Amino acid sequence: MGFKNGIEYRYPLLDKRIIEFVLKIPSELMFRGSFARIILRDLGKGLLPESVLNRTHYYDPVYAQNKPKYYEELFHLFKDEVTVWGKNQDLNFIDFKIVKREIDLFNKNPKAKDFKNLFSNILFFKALHEFTKTYRSLPEQTPD
pLDDT exceeds cutoff 70 at 138: no
pLDDT value of residue 128: 92
CA separation for the pair 72, 69 (Å, rounded) = 5
Spatial CB neighbours of 53, under 8 Å, sequence gap ≥ 6: 41, 44, 45
pLDDT value of residue 38: 85
For residue 109, what pLDDT band results from cuts at 50, 70 and 90?
A: very high
Contact assessment for residue 37 and residue 31, using Cβ atoms and an 8 Å cutoff: no
Spans of all domains in the chain: 3-53, 61-136
CA separation for the pair 106, 79 (Å, rounded) = 11
Rounding to the nearest 10 degrees, give the CA dihedral for residues 102, 107, 111, 117. 30
- In the chain, count of helices (H) and strands (E)? 7, 2
For residue 9, what pLDDT band results from cuts at 50, 70 and 90?
A: low
Between 106 and 140, residue with greater pLDDT:
106
pLDDT value of residue 56: 76
- When the pLDDT of each residue in the chain is averaged and rounded to a whole number, the result is 85
pLDDT value of residue 129: 93
